[in-house]
A and B are shown apart, each in its own frame.
Chain A
Amino acid sequence: MSFPWAKHYAPKNPLMQWMDERLPLPRLVYNAVGAGYPVPRNLNYFWNFGVLAGAALGIQIITGIVLAMHYGATGAGAFDSVEHIMRDVNAGWFLRYAHANGASMFFIVVYIHIFRGLFYGSYKAPREMVWLLGVVIFLLMMATAFMGYVLPWGQMSFWGAQVITGFFSAIPGVGETVRVWLLGGYAPGEAALNRFFSLHYLLPFVIAAVIILHIWALHIPGSNNPTGVEVKGEQDTVPFHPYYTAKDGFGLGVFLLLFVALVFFFPNALGHPDNYIPANSLSTPAHIVPEWYFWPFYAILRAFTSDFILPAKLWGVLAMFGSILLLFFLPWLDSSPVRSANYRPVFRTFFWILVVDVLILGKCGGSPATPFYVILSQICAGYYFAHFLIIIPIISRAERPRPLPNSITEAVLSKHGGTSPAQTALAAE
């Protein structure tokens, strides 16, 4: 960590000294998430969600590894092996429900984490690389979750795989060939199931590796904070341990409490009943819908209903991938030097419109494609692209931000009854 006042690792125990001289792993941990990492003192509860996302990944990996010991990725046996886990494996029902709902919890946490990054401008210089790696993690999560959903080999698994791999057939010319190559057949079957299982096991470890890079990149400039003002001195920070380990401990407890409520009392609330019907290539479900965390993107895909130079399907696929890929360019689309939306009144208004817009898109993506929902998703998808690609570049130049506090400490003290940042700014002029 770059701040000169960061505490240095100085083990007193001779064993730890011996270790430190040979493999300074404890030193690495100390500097990464221990007392050696100074963090702004004014972080709110939104800053708990990075640690929670890490915990969610850990839960997924542990439950997933045990589930894989009992699961069989065969076309004839996959569905039955999941029921075998539910009925005959010791605590198998708990492992499977924890894993299925753990994916939902992971996405809830990551969406709040992204929300926080967008609101407080955490994607801006000098943290662009943190943001870019975060988008990579998000894409890997989506791929992993999709392939995981195929594994129980129920009706939604099969037809979801059919629809998602069908995107590739929108590529002009070679699309169908690419689709068949990816699936290992003309329709999802045992070949697809096996490769999805293999990749579903691999990708979480790739995610873990990118998380290490994500945290590494974060530790160069240090954490952002709710004011968006950079750390000016030692008085602005506290050591990560014990201050934020204690706060994260409490956050983790609340997270687990909600997780337990879901797993033990509403384990199927976020799933689709059709996935308890074995995969059947001859019977198409009335409404094919993905898991809830893909609904906004599914709504964008389905919003493109008319050909316009290119076929509608290709537009839909381009837009759906584009809606996520555009996040890679966000640090350069938003050129305003002010990070926190708290000091950007115009940005903040549009930001909340975007939040409502994405929630409506989610509702549309989970509903049948009736004209009402198609029209709604066309309007909301239009706003989504306009927001990131047109509105943000314009307001980041036109907007007059409110005066910023001079430092984190000043903002904290004014909250506790000192001078307000506006007064200090006036005095400074």
Chain B
Amino acid sequence: MVRNLAMLVGAAFVTVLAWALFWTVEGQITDPAPKTVVDEFHLQPKEIELESNGVFGKFDQRQLQRGFQVYKEVCSNCHSLSHVAFRDLSQIGYSDAQVKKIAADWGAKQPTFDEKSGDHAERPNIPSDHFPKVYYPGTGSPPDLSLITKAREEGPAYVHSLLTGYAPQPAALLKKFPDAKTPDGAFYNPYFANLNIAMPPPLTQDGQVQYLDGTKPTVDQMAKDVTAFLVWTAEPNLAMRHTAGFAAGIFLLIFCFLAWGAYQNVWRDVKH
């Protein structure tokens, strides 16, 4: 009884699937979906070499400080960093006094609200504050950057490629897809999901940021440094996690070795 009923149910599902398969194949033959402009012109991000890559990855503090400088002077005009606190900057090599000064001098202030008078006001940032939210009135909605390298496929490579990937729209594209011309107010970038991004090229010329440590501020270097910084903002515990991982791994290897010995010892007289 169960088996006969099962065969009926099975036959029903197989029939419906065969029916669906027929129409899918038929649709593919009579009306195949044409390739879109994104299919043909979207590029995968270029690999990027960072200290934080791989299982031994850790942070290069000087690079993080340079990256922070790029964020501060360029990105922070439009992008928030709201999961990061000023005090966190001590992890990338700034002294307590420097952190205090960075917080106090930060352009955007902390909003305050007086319960008694009902007044909205502002006060300077202190180290325990998170970076204040940036409100952007223009077109597009600049995402918060705290987690951006974890919130995109191949995040670090994506950020670096996107920052350095602005280009004029290829003639071949316009010839094949005349409707896909980048609209006014947008910019062509083959690493962006739909090829046209609202963000104007943020890093336009070498020397846009003056590094204090003598590193040559080429566009590629600045993009790389800010990427490294954003890897840190997304995963500040990365280096500690790797160290702890090796400690735990070595401990467990010894445990496995002992457990295997115990297993062999217990079973030595029993064939199995």
Contact = CB atoms under 8 A, between A and B. Distances in A.
A375 B21 contact: yes
Contact of B13 (A319, A335, A379): A319
Contacts of B262: 246, 249-250
Contacts of B150: 268, 273, 276
Nearest to A384: B13
Contacts of B147: 83, 276-277
Interface of B: 2-3, 6-7, 9-11, 13-25, 27-28, 32-33, 55, 83, 88, 143, 146-147, 150-153, 155, 193, 234, 236-237, 241-242, 244-246, 248-249, 252-253, 255-256, 259-260, 262-263, 265-267, 270-272
Given A254-B256, A264-B241, A276-B151, A382 B11 contact: no
Interface in A48-104: 80, 83, 86-87, 93-94, 97
Tell me what chain B mostly uses at the interface: helix, strand, loop, or mixed.
Answer: helix
Given A250-B256, A378-B24, A382-B18, A264 B242 contact: yes
Interface string A190-218: 00000000000000000000000000000
B91 to A, nearest CB: 10
A403 interface: no
Contact of A322 (B2, B13, B193): B13
B57 to A, nearest CB: 9
A415 B272 CA distance: 9
Contact of A286 (B17, B20, B146, B193): B193
A390 B259 contact: no
Interface string A276-306: 1100000000100000000000000001111
B267 A332 contact: no
Contacts of A413: 271
A171 interface: no
Interface of A: 41-43, 80, 83, 86-87, 93-94, 97, 238, 242-243, 246-247, 249-250, 252-254, 256-257, 260-261, 263-265, 267-268, 273-274, 276-277, 286, 303-306, 308, 312, 315, 319, 322, 326, 329, 332-333, 335, 371, 374-375, 378-379, 381-382, 385-386, 388-390, 393, 412-413, 415-416
Contacts of B260: 250, 253
A257 B249 contact: yes
A385 B17 CA distance: 10
Q: Give the interface centre of B2, B7, B23, B266 by most chain A CB atoms within 10 Å.
A: B266
B145 to A, nearest CB: 12
B270 A238 contact: yes
B239 to A, nearest CB: 11
Contacts of B16: 304, 306, 308, 315
A17 to B, nearest CB: 27
Closest 6 CB pairs of A and B: A264-B245, A389-B10, A253-B256, A276-B151, A250-B259, A378-B21
A322 B146 CA distance: 43
Contact of B19 (A277, A308, A389, A393): A308
A305 B23 contact: yes
B266 A243 contact: yes
A393 B6 contact: yes
Contacts of A286: 193
Contacts of A305: 20, 23-24
Nearest to B257: A253
A260 B246 CA distance: 9
Given A87-B236, A312-B20, A246 B267 contact: yes
Contact of A389 (B6, B234, B236, B265): B6
B151 A374 contact: no
A41 B270 CA distance: 8
A390 B252 contact: no
Given A246-B265, A371-B24, A390-B7, 14 more contacts: A87-B237, A94-B241, A94-B244, A238-B272, A249-B263, A253-B252, A253-B259, A253-B260, A256-B252, A257-B256, A322-B13, A382-B13, A389-B7, A393-B7
A260 B3 contact: no
Contacts of B249: 257, 260-261, 264
Nearest to A274: B151
13 contacts: A250-B260, A254-B256, A304-B20, A305-B23, A308-B19, A371-B28, A378-B21, A381-B17, A382-B21, A385-B10, A390-B6, A390-B7, A393-B3
Nearest to A41: B272
Contact of B20 (A263, A264, A268, A303): A303
Nearest to A83: B83
B14 A382 contact: yes
A371 B17 contact: no
Nearest to B57: A265
Contacts of A388: 6, 10
Contacts of B246: 264
B256 A277 contact: no
Contacts of A378: 17, 20-21, 24
B17 A333 contact: no
A326 B9 CA distance: 10
A285 to B, nearest CB: 11
Nearest to B6: A389
A265 B55 contact: yes
Given A93-B237, A246-B267, A264-B242, A390 B10 contact: yes
